[in-house]
């Protein structure tokens, strides 16, 4: 018969065995459940975990600097104190929260800030540095993005279109026609008389029933009809694209036209008579500025700085050749590349290095033109390198150099620290793990250099390292430890626990990867390398368990031989079957 003192070992060993059994079963179910998680959700989980770990570790891979600002996006729109979901229309009084798009995507944007455009009065738009924009009047409103490191340089220039008053609040619309600063009045027949070769301005005002009565309305949002036909579908009046400025082309021969302006369900009409003006049409166009060069073919050339804005009439002396006779320079314009230089009637804006051809057409005769070739040179105002922070061992990554926010090939690449190679096109490769420092030097400017440190590893990103390390190796290490502990405590003969643990670990790993096949789980895929990582983790866990059992047993045997003997005797009664029997029943049956 066993003593009560001896049976305490059996009780403890059985508790340990059952704990190991149920924990191992739970871990196996968890692993298979994770394998069945759709790819998008699994990726989000792993990214969150890796980000938290990377943050806690205070990784030595800080966010790279901004190489180029490529755009902006609207985070939210607040209208009358209410967040507006999914709206692309912005009205006076709206508050927009803006964000920055840049290269690389994970760049440090803490030094970037927003600012009101150089030509925007304070009563047009309010812009806070953090990107909070309040729209105050209708029209295109310019906003720029700058860096605190170089506030004189505009990194990105864009316009936000304010459509004016929210149509839901408009009760009535009113119109006025201006010639210069003068408002034109109708005669006793309610007809307004216009003259050819003059430039007129159409003002539309919205009437509301609150304190904001009298908002201006963007004419581009209105529908304009002339004698029932769409504007510019006639030969009498020509409207510019914004439908704000317009030009009488031909007389109405004593008759009149009906000009209709519609906004939503509101309409206002005006009778228009056109008579012959005193000014002649332009016979051609020219420039009068030292910045303009006239070419042999009669065209003109101009060099602009990146982000420069010009008004050709006031700053470049653009005029009709017969301006001395009173001929106006009423034109429309077209740019061959609006990404380099935009042309908005008489305005020019240079966005990035390159060339563009601007063609100016007379609104009266489109065969009368002027051609302006604009060059925006590449200004070297800084050099940055964009590339992934990691490169797979034996793989390749592309490094790209930027100057002035634009890609440049005019650099010399070299590896200055670590083992790796990079070709003249910025393609980097390395067959040895570690950190490698690459340097880019602007050709002709040896003082202009920038370095980039790349981590060469088995995994291409820190997220992948965490995913493989925690999601595969570490979990299976714990599983291997639990499998060996369970089998060693509950299976006879005890030596069979080792092969059973190895076999079980391989089966669990195989089924886990099988569950990741597309037929079972969307957005996932199964690979043999992942099975190998899982099995290697389990093998490590089994090895740790074997060493732990051996060390504990040896220390116990040396320190307390009698106690170790009693424990060993009790242990001989423990099997999977006996672990679920009552203790008294076990020892009664055995004796």
What's the CA gap between 200 and 183, in Å, rounded?
Answer: 10
Tell me, what's the pLDDT at 520?
65
What's the CA gap between 322 and 285, in Å, rounded?
Answer: 8
What's the CA gap between 316 and 326, in Å, rounded?
Answer: 19
Q: Is 512 helix (H, G, I), strand (E, B) or coil?
A: helix
H or E stretch including 34? helix 4-35
What's the CA gap between 245 and 219, in Å, rounded?
Answer: 9
Tell me, what's the pLDDT at 104?
76
Tell me, what's the pLDDT at 39?
47
Q: Please, which residues bridge with residue 193 across strands?
A: 273
Is 540 within 8 Å of 478 (Cβ atoms)?
no
68-162 shares its CATH topology with 390-457: yes
- Residues in CB range of 279: below 8 A, 6 or more apart: 195, 196, 197, 198, 325, 326, 327, 328
Comparing CA positions, the residue from 422, 308, 302, 322 lying closest to residue 373 is 302
Q: What is the pLDDT of residues 359-401, one digit of tens each?
A: 999 999 999 999 999 999 877 767 888 888 878 778 888 898 8
* Neighbour count for residue 383 (Cβ, 10 Å): 20
Pairing verdict, β 390-392 and 449-457: parallel
How far separated are the first and last CA of the chain, in Å rounded?
Answer: 7
Comparing CA positions, the residue from 104, 148, 117, 167 lying closest to residue 401 is 104
Tell me, what's the pLDDT at 1?
45
Tell me, what's the pLDDT at 193?
94
Is 473 within 8 Å of 532 (Cβ atoms)?
no
**Token pair 């919205």 in the structure block, residue:** 206
Is 139 within 8 Å of 218 (Cβ atoms)?
yes
What's the CA gap between 522 and 438, in Å, rounded?
Answer: 39
Question: Chain-centre distance of CA 191, in angstroms?
Answer: 54
CA angle 570, 572, 574 (to 5 degrees): 80
Residue 179 corresponds to which tokens in the numbers above? 């010639």
Residue 257 corresponds to which tokens in the numbers above? 């036209």
Q: What is the pLDDT of residues 159-183, one digit of tens each?
A: 898 887 787 778 888 889 999 999 9
Q: What is the pLDDT of residues 521-565, one digit of tens each?
A: 655 556 777 777 888 888 888 889 889 888 988 998 888 888 888
Percent helix, percent strand, percent coil in the chain, to nearest 5: 30, 35, 35
Tell me, what's the pLDDT at 204?
85
In the chain, where the domains are located: 4-57+462-590, 68-162, 167-275, 285-376, 390-457
Structural fold of domain 68-162: Immunoglobulin-like (2.60.40)
**CATH for the stretch 285-376:** 2.60.40.1080
3-state secondary structure 286-343: ECCCCCCEECCCCCEEEECCCCCEEEHHHHCCCEECCHHHCCCCCEEEEECCCCCEEE
Is 471 within 8 Å of 513 (Cβ atoms)?
no
Kindly give the residue spans of alpha helices, DSSP state H, lying in 461-527: 462-468, 475-490, 497-514
In CATH, what is the architecture of 167-275? Sandwich (2.60)
Structural fold of domain 390-457: Immunoglobulin-like (2.60.40)
Tell me, what's the pLDDT at 55?
52
Tell me, what's the pLDDT at 84?
87
Tell me, what's the pLDDT at 356?
96
Comparing CA positions, the residue from 387, 389, 562 lying closest to residue 6 is 562
Tell me, what's the pLDDT at 130?
94
What's the CA gap between 58 and 62, in Å, rounded?
Answer: 9
Comparing CA positions, the residue from 131, 134, 96 lying closest to residue 112 is 131
pLDDT in tens, the chain (591 residues): 445 445 777 788 888 888 888 988 888 888 777 776 664 454 444 445 445 545 555 555 566 777 778 889 999 999 888 898 888 889 888 999 999 998 777 788 899 999 998 767 788 899 999 999 999 887 888 899 998 888 877 888 888 988 877 877 788 888 899 999 999 998 888 999 999 999 999 988 877 765 545 566 667 678 899 999 998 888 899 998 888 899 999 999 889 999 999 887 888 999 999 999 999 999 999 999 999 999 999 999 999 988 889 999 999 999 999 999 999 999 999 999 999 999 988 999 998 888 999 999 999 999 999 999 999 987 776 788 888 887 877 888 889 888 766 778 889 999 999 999 999 999 999 888 889 999 999 887 888 888 999 888 765 555 555 555 555 677 888 888 888 888 888 888 888 888 998 898 888 878 877 877 766 665 555 677 777 788 888 888 888 988 988 898 899 888 888 888 888 887 788 777 877 776 555 555 554
């Amino acid at each position: 018969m066993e003593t009560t003192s001896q049976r305490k070992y059996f009780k403890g060993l059985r508790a340990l065995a059952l704990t190991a059994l149920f924990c191992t079963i739970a871990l196996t179910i968890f692993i298979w459940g994770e394998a069945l998680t759709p790819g998008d959700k699994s990726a989000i989980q792993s990214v969150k975990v890796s980000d938290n770990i990377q943050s806690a570790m205070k990784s030595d891979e800080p966010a790279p600097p901004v190489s180029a600002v490529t755009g902006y996006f609207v985070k939210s729109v607040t209208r009358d104190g209410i967040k507006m979901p999914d709206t692309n229309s912005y009205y006076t009084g709206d508050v927009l929260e803006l964000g920055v798009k840049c290269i690389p995507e994970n760049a440090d944007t803490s030094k970037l800030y927003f600012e009101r455009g150089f030509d925007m009065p304070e009563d047009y738009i309010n812009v806070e540095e953090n990107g909070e924009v309040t729209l105050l009047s209708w029209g295109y409103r310019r906003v720029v993005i700058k860096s605190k490191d170089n506030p004189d340089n505009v990194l990105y220039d864009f316009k936000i279109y304010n459509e004016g008053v929210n149509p839901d609040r408009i009760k009535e619309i009113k119109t006025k026609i201006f010639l210069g600063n003068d408002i034109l009045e109708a005669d006793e027949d309610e007809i307004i008389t216009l003259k050819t070769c003059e430039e007129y301005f159409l003002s539309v005002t919205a009437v509301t029933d609150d304190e904001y009565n009298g908002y201006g309305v963007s004419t581009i949002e209105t529908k304009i009809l002339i004698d029932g036909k769409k504007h510019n579908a006639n030969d009498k009046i020509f409207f510019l694209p914004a439908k704000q400025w317009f030009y009488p082309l031909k007389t109405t021969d004593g008759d009149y036209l009906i000009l209709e302006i519609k906004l939503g369900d509101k309409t206002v009409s005006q009778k228009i008579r056109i008579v012959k003006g005193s000014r002649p049409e332009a016979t051609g166009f020219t420039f009068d500025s030292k910045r303009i060069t006239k070419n042999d073919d009669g065209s003109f050339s101009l060099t602009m700085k990146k982000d420069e804005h010009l008004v050709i009439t006031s700053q470049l002396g653009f005029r009709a050749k017969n301006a001395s006779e009173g001929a106006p320079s009423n034109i429309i314009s077209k740019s061959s590349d609006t990404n380099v230089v935009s042309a908005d009637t008489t305005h020019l804006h240079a966005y990035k290095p390159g060339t563009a051809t601007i063609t100016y057409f007379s609104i009266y005769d489109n065969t009368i033109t002027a051609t302006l070739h604009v060059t925006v040179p590449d200004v070297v105002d800084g050099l940055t390198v964009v590339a992934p922070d990691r490169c797979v061992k034996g793989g390749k990554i592309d490094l790209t150099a930027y100057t002035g926010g634009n890609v440049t090939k005019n650099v010399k690449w070299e590896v200055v620290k670590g083992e790796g190679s990079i070709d003249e096109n910025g393609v980097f490769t390395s067959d040895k793990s570690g950190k490698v420092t690459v340097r880019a030097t602007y050709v002709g400017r040896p003082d202009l250099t920038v370095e980039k440190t790349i981590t060469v590893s088995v995994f291409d990103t820190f997220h992948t390292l965490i995913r493989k390390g925690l999601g595969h190796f570490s979990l299976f290490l714990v599983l291997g430890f639990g499998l060996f502990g369970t089998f060693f405590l509950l299976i006879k003969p005890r030596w069979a626990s080792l092969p059973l643990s190895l076999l079980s670990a391989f089966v669990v790993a195989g089924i886990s990867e099988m569950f990741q096949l597309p037929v079972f789980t969307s957005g996932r895929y199964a690979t043999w390398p992942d099975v190998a990582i899982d099995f290697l983790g389990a093998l490590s866990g089994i090895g740790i368990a074997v060493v732990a059992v051996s060390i504990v047993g040896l220390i116990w045997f040396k320190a307390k031989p009698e106690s170790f003997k009693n424990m060993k005797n009790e242990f001989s009664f423990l099997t999977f079957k006996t672990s679920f029997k009552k203790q008294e029943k076990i020892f009664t049956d055995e004796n």
